[in-house]
């Protein structure tokens, strides 16, 4: 990945001091302004390259669109539902979190709530403070031998499973991503949700909040569960339908709930909080000294590693960048961007309908994804309100109705890998083929013109389409000289049977391509 310059970072919430220390030790200017209103953050953010938040700051589209220099939003914690990821992606901003920073703390709180639900610990403690001795009222149940359903088998779900297994609980679960054989290796039998609900004595949820998980536990779900099932939510408010949960509690279908998160925080409606069978906390999942230190330190280290070109960890919207941290990938990205730029110049920024990117050769086997994005960067540059980059290029193309296809195939005899790009516009189809030779990106073909000498994709380049002629080079040289430009290199096609593309490296671009009309049927120029 090309280095990203992060010179200044705004921290909008209280994070561990190590976050600021690490950033400043690496030459980044840090400002801390906590508890800003939305309008204050909109006014402030325009001066910064990076923003670090926890969960209280809502990074809305308005804030993102006001951030002219912003390149990264770092969430010191798990999940990014307080960040408008789509708006950030559209603007080419990396959104990063610390997926493992609060894993242990969230898992331990989940276990604490499960145990508290089984033995009524908070209620009994409160009764004692009121001077009572109600042993019979707080009769509990053992966890041993009970079935725990874990919905979401990521890092936290896995840690919860291992801890509750030590209490003798049977752990079953569901996750659309984690393979069943993986979860089975740490003692969790996976099954469909329809199979899971009726078996559980306890249910805990550990999923992100997204359209598919909103209201995952609802009236219909509770009706399928055992009567008296107990539920825990230390993930995100809204995964359990709060109105449905209250109805289930009042009917006895749900025997108790441990809630650390709510749809509205702090909740204005206290019906759930005040229910005698509900144990509630003010979003304490990550509220341990260890988790806060870990999250603050992790987000700073991840940002530093990214700008130093070491690796990219925790990025939720920039998976395409994960394979771009080698010198070889930098060269391939430059190649793809340059090929895209050549095609843009040759199509005169016409409306694109379809783009096909094909890579060939073993050296490009794992690069097709980011090379496709890089081609789009070169092709779409200047086409939109924001500058395209590897993060937003695909989404910008999709938004514009451009069909993007990519493929990789084995090289047929070519030592170096090649990148072939075909662009379909409303009036024509243009093709280009490039490669990296001697560490330099070169153009091998443009449409049906195979260059006898590969075109070095750097500097000022003038492309023109003309019939072959012994006087062509001298004529072009004279014409360019009249325009105040000198020829620095010349690439001719190997086939002279029809009109073909030629390329001239020039000292400066022509002020008007119309000067080439006496010689060329088509012309394009660009600076790379």
Residue keyed to tokens 């409160």? 126
Q: What is the per-residue DSSP string for 332-352?
A: HHHHHHHHHHHHHHHTTTPPE
Sorted by sequence, the CB contacts under 8 Å of residue 130 that are 6+ apart come out as: none
Structure tokens at 242: 């709060």
Spatial contact of 183 and 207, defined as CB atoms under 8 Å apart: no
Q: Which two tokens stand for residue 375?
A: 């081609």
What are the residues facing 73 on neighbouring strands?
51, 95
Q: What residues are annotated to the active site?
A: 236, 265, 283
**Which is it for strands 278-280 and 460-466: parallel, antiparallel or unpaired?**
unpaired
Which strands sit side by side in the sheet containing 72-75, from one edge to the other?
A: 29-32, 8-11, 50-53, 72-75, 94-97
Buried b (16+ CB within 10 A) or exposed e, 251-280: eebbbbbbbbbbbeeebeeeebeebebbbb
Quickly tell me which residue has 């920073």 as its tokens.
Answer: 101
CA distance 260 to 278: 11
Q: C-alpha angle with apex 78: 367 to 291, nearest 5 degrees?
A: 125
Kindly state the DSSP code that residue 326 receives in the 8-state scheme.
Answer: S
User: Can you name the residues that pair with 506 across neighbouring β-strands?
Assistant: 460, 487
Return d(Cα 313, Cα 354) in angstroms, integer: 32
Tens digit of pLDDT at every position of the chain (528 positions): 556 889 999 999 999 999 999 999 999 999 999 989 999 999 999 989 999 999 889 999 999 999 999 999 999 998 898 999 999 999 999 999 998 899 999 999 999 999 999 999 999 999 999 999 999 999 999 999 999 999 999 999 999 999 999 999 999 999 999 999 999 999 999 999 999 999 999 999 999 888 999 999 999 999 999 999 999 999 999 999 999 999 999 999 999 999 999 999 999 999 999 999 999 999 999 999 999 999 999 999 999 999 998 888 999 998 788 778 787 888 999 999 999 999 999 998 689 999 999 999 888 888 889 999 999 999 999 876 668 999 999 999 998 899 999 999 876 655 568 999 999 998 899 999 999 999 999 999 999 899 999 999 999 999 999 988 888 888 999 989 988 899 999 999 988 778 899 999 999 999 999 888 888 889 999 999
Q: What is the DSSP string of 402-421?
A: -EEEEEEE--SS-SS-EEEE
- DSSP state, 144? T
- Can you tell me the distance from the alpha carbon of 390 to that of 330, in angstroms, rounded to the nearest whole number? 12
69-80: b or e for each residue (b if 16 or more CB lie within 10 Å)?
A: ebbbbbbbbbbb
| Structural domains of the chain, ranges and CATH numbers in brackets | 8-101+290-321 (3.40.50.720), 102-280 (3.40.50.720), 323-447 (3.30.1330.90), 448-527 (3.30.70.260)
The residue among 334, 333, 337, 354 whose CA lies nearest residue 345 is 337
Contact 294, 18 (CB under 8 A): no
Question: Residue 489 and residue 456: Cα distance in Å, rounded?
Answer: 9
Residue written as token pair 């660009």: 526
| Per-residue pLDDT at 514 | 87
Q: What's the predicted TM-score (pTM) here?
A: 0.78
Q: What is the DSSP letter of 145?
A: T
Sign of the CA dihedral with 83 first, then 89, 93, and 99 last:
positive
Would you list the DSSP string of 451-520?
Answer: EEEEEE--SEEEEEEE---TTHHHHHHHHHHHTT--EEEEE-BS--SS-EEEEEEESS--S-GGGGTTT-
Among candidate residues 31, 103, 53, 32, the one with its CA nearest the CA of residue 299: 53
Dist CA 192 CA 190 (whole Å):
7
DSSP codes of every residue in 209-262: -STTTTTSB-HHHHHHSPTTEEEEE-S-TTSB-HHHHHHHHHHTSEEEEEES--
Which helix (H) or strand (E) segment holds residue 279: the answer is strand 278-280
- CA 495 – CA 58 distance, rounded (Å): 60
């Amino acid at each position: 990945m090309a280095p990203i310059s992060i010179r200044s970072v705004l921290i909008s919430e209280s994070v561990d001091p190590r976050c600021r220390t690490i950033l400043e030790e690496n030459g980044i200017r840090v400002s801390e302004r906590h508890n800003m209103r939305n309008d204050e953050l909109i006014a402030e953010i325009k001066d910064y390259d990076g923003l670090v938040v926890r969960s209280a700051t809502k990074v809305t589209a308005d804030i993102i669109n006001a951030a002219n220099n912003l390149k990264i939003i770092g969430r010191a914690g798990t999940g990014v539902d307080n960040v408008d990821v789509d708006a950030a992606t559209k603007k080419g901003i990396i959104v990063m979190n610390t997926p493992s920073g609060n894993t242990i703390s969230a898992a331990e709180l989940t276990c604490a709530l499960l145990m508290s639900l089984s033995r009524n610990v908070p209620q009994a403690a409160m009764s004692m403070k009121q001077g009572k001795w109600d042993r019979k009222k707080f009769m509990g149940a053992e966890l041993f031998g009970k079935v725990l359903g874990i919905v979401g088998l990521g890092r936290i779900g896995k840690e919860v499973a291992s801890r509750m297994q030590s209490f003798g609980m049977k752990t079953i679960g569901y996750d659309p991503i984690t393979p069943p054989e993986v979860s089975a290796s740490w003692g969790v039998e996976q099954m469909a949700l329809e199979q899971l609900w009726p078996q559980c004595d306890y249910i805990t949820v550990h999923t992100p909040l997204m359209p598919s998980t909103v209201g995952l536990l609802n009236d219909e779900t509770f009706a399928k569960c055992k009567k008296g099932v107990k539920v825990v939510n230390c993930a995100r408010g809204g995964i359990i339908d709060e109105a449905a949960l209250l109805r289930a509690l009042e009917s006895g279908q749900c025997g108790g709930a441990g809630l650390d998160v709510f749809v509205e925080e702090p909740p204005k409606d206290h019906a759930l909080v005040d229910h005698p069978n509900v144990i509630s906390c003010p979003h304490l999942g990550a509220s341990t000294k260890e988790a806060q230190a870990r999250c603050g330190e992790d987000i700073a280290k991840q940002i530093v590693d990214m700008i130093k070109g070491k690796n990219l960890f925790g990025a939720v919207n920039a998976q395409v960048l994960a394979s771009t941290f080698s010198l070889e990938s930098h060269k391939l990205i430059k190649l793809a961007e340059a090929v895209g730029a050549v095609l843009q110049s040759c199509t005169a920024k016409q409306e694109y309908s379809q783009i096909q990117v094909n890579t060939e050769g073993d050296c490009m086997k794992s690069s097709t994804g980011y090379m496709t994005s890089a081609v789009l960067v070169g092709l779409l540059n200047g086409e939109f309100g924001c500058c395209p980059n590897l993060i937003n290029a695909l989404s910008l193309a999709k938004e514009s109705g451009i069909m993007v296809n990519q493929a990789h195939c084995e090289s047929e005899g070519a030592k170096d890998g090649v990148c072939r790009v075909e662009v379909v516009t409303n009036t024509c189809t243009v093709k280009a083929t490039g490669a990296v030779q001697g560490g330099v990106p070169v153009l091998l073909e443009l449409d049906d013109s195979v260059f006898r000498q590969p075109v070095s994709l750097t500097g000022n380049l003038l492309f023109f389409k003309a019939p072959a002629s012994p006087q062509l080079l001298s004529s072009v040289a004279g014409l360019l000289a009249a325009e105040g430009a000198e020829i620095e290199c010349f690439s001719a096609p190997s086939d002279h049977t029809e009109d073909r593309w030629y390329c001239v490296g020039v000292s400066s671009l022509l002020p008007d391509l119309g000067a080439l009309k006496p010689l060329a049927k088509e012309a394009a120029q660009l600076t790379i």
